[in-house]
Amino acid sequence: MEHYLTIQHQEILLKCIRQMKSKTTTNDTTKTDAIELTEILNILSGGIEALINESQNLTIEVSQQQEKVKQIEEQSSTMKISAEESQSLLQGFKQNQEILQQEIMSLSESVDDMKYVSYDGTFIWKISNFKEKMSKI
């Protein structure tokens, strides 16, 4: 298809058309041949025009597709940056969550320690692992 659109091919085709037209002016049989050749030439020129139009349409479509590819590449890079930012944000949330869990554990221990505080003047001692220590005695 590209061969028919080349300048060289079109120039040769035009030369053939001119030669055919110049030979068709001699007599009546030549006139009927000329009419047939003119019809053939009209068909060929219509085909050439159709090919040129198709070529132009394809060129436009290619440029549109290239523009879409550029847009997709831009969106892709934006999404990649967004994903990286989200990942770092999640990492920060994870660290904050670990710190909060440590603080909750510390507060929980403080509350447990306060359970054994007496306000009536008596002391209550908490002995950890009491059964184990008693078994050793």
pLDDT grade, residue 103 (50/70/90)? Answer: very high
For 34-81, the pLDDT digits (tens) are 778 888 888 888 888 888 889 899 999 999 999 999 999 999 999 999
Neighbour count for residue 130 (Cβ, 10 Å): 9
Which ranges in the chain belong to alpha helices (H)?
A: 2-5, 7-23, 28-115, 130-136
Q: What is the CA radius of gyration of the chain?
A: 46
If you average pLDDT over every residue of the chain, what do you get?
Answer: 82
Bigger pLDDT: 103 or 131? 103
Q: Kindly report, residue by residue over 9-27, the tens digit of the pLDDT.
A: 777 877 777 776 666 555 5
Q: Which residue has the tokens 């159709």?
A: 50
